[in-house]
Chain A
């Protein structure tokens, strides 16, 4: 009985407590609505002013600046790339020019050497021809002189042999006879 009474009292207190503190859902306590709406509107207006006046233009500016600088950098890189390509082309051109020049110089040198060589060969040929002609002449002379010597020796020998055989030989006759013999 006593327990029941305390329980009832407790229940009543609970009910009273609930009525003042949390009537079911505080969300449905309409007395607080004007307060919440009032402060919400103020908060939203303040946020809107902060965003539209300061924050959003600033962030948009920063993003635009960054986009701009990125675009600029890419353009610059493109330009430098083009320049590098041009430089490479110029280098290649210079290399090709140098190579052609070298080729030309080599050809010229070869030509000059060939000409010198031809000259030298010609000169040598002429010298050799002159020398061989001289030698031939000398050989002919020697041969002629040798032939003459042979004739003379034959005449002299014949004259001596005829003399030795006890004949009185006429020098002219002997000479004629030897010449005839030699011719024949």
Chain B
């Protein structure tokens, strides 16, 4: 009985989390802060793809764009319009930073969907760094631009006076939860999707359910393509919303 269970366990080898292991690229076991790892490789590929799209793709500077230039212009227009609509015209000087965030996340997510790829945005270390960078810069920017008036963000002047201290506490908590939700949302979505695909793929080893498993993997993959873009979009638009709060703290 026990042997039976064991042999079945060996047949169905689930290692859904193995794809997230950070490994040194050139052998060795220890991961120092400077060691080139698979993280390094896939971030380098991300940078390369962004370079290919936005620099090599637009080298013609054509008035009637080529296909690649069209995509580059589309990406530019998409983020530019987002910043302009959500944050306002005065925030367009921060557009390069937001564009950097968007391009990095969207290409990390998409490249992570390639078979055997490593998804850098599925790690809390990466997303938390991004979210903390946004949180800190937005907070500092808010105080630099508005001084103490930035605290008006927590003082809901439209509410009754008696409620305002309570609301201020709630607002303060929600403000500090922002980087957590911001980072965990992206990391959780990316990790969960990849893990689920891996689990379905593990079931493909059993001949009877393998057609279902392959179908499920295909369906999940389609969903993940959607999620990859939507999460990048959500991360970017939330950054824009936080930036608007910093520039115009009054409710």
- A residues near B, CB below 8 A? 3-4, 7, 10, 21-22, 24-29, 31-44, 46-48, 50-52, 54-56, 58-63, 65-66, 69
Segment of B42-50, B201-209, B213-221 in the binding face: B42-50
Give the docked Cα–Cα distance between A66 and B62 (Å): 9
Asked if B129 contacts A25 (CB within 8 A), the reply is no
A-B contact pairs, 26 of them (CB 8 A): A7-B6, A21-B21, A26-B17, A26-B18, A26-B22, A28-B124, A31-B31, A32-B22, A33-B125, A35-B32, A36-B125, A39-B39, A39-B43, A40-B120, A40-B125, A44-B104, A46-B47, A48-B96, A50-B50, A50-B54, A52-B96, A56-B76, A62-B61, A62-B65, A65-B61, A66-B63
Task: List B contacts of A42 (CB < 8 A).
Answer: 43
Q: Which of B46-97 contact A (CB under 8 A)?
A: 46-47, 50-51, 54-55, 58, 61-63, 65, 69, 72-73, 76-77, 95-97
B180 CB to closest chain A CB (Å) equals 14
Q: Which of B122-137 contact A (CB under 8 A)?
A: 122-126, 129-130
**How many residue pairs, one in A and one in B, have C-beta atoms under 8 Å apart?**
139
4 closest Cβ pairs, A-B complex: A34-B33, A55-B54, A43-B43, A32-B22
Asked if A58 contacts B58 (CB within 8 A), the reply is yes
Give the docked Cα–Cα distance between A33 and B125 (Å): 6
Asked if B124 contacts A27 (CB within 8 A), the reply is yes
Residues A47 and B22 in contact in the complex (CB < 8 Å), given A28-B124, A55-B58, A61-B61: no
Residues A35 and B54 in contact in the complex (CB < 8 Å), given A43-B43, A43-B47, A47-B47: no
Give the docked Cα–Cα distance between A10 and B5 (Å): 13
Asked if A21 contacts B100 (CB within 8 A), the reply is no
| Chain B: interface residue total (CB-CB under 8 A) | 52
A141 CB to closest chain B CB (Å) equals 111
Task: List B contacts of A59 (CB < 8 A).
Answer: 54, 58, 72-73, 76
Q: Which of B6-41 contact A (CB under 8 A)?
A: 6, 15, 17-18, 20-22, 31-35, 37, 39-40
Most chain B CB within 10 A, of A33, A35, A60, A63, is at A35
Asked if B33 contacts A51 (CB within 8 A), the reply is no
B99 at the interface (CB under 8 A from A): yes
Q: Which residue of A lies closest to B101 (CB)?
A: A44
Asked if B129 contacts A62 (CB within 8 A), the reply is no
Asked if B65 contacts A47 (CB within 8 A), the reply is no
Q: Which residue of B lies closest to A34 (CB)?
A: B33
Most chain B CB within 10 A, of A58, A61, A69, is at A58
Task: List A contacts of B104 (CB < 8 A).
Answer: 43-44, 47
Task: List A contacts of B96 (CB < 8 A).
Answer: 48, 51-52, 56
Q: Which of A37, A51, A66 contacts B100 (CB 8 A)?
A: A51
Most chain B CB within 10 A, of A28, A39, A46, A50, is at A39
Asked if B33 contacts A38 (CB within 8 A), the reply is yes
Give the docked Cα–Cα distance between A59 and B76 (Å): 8
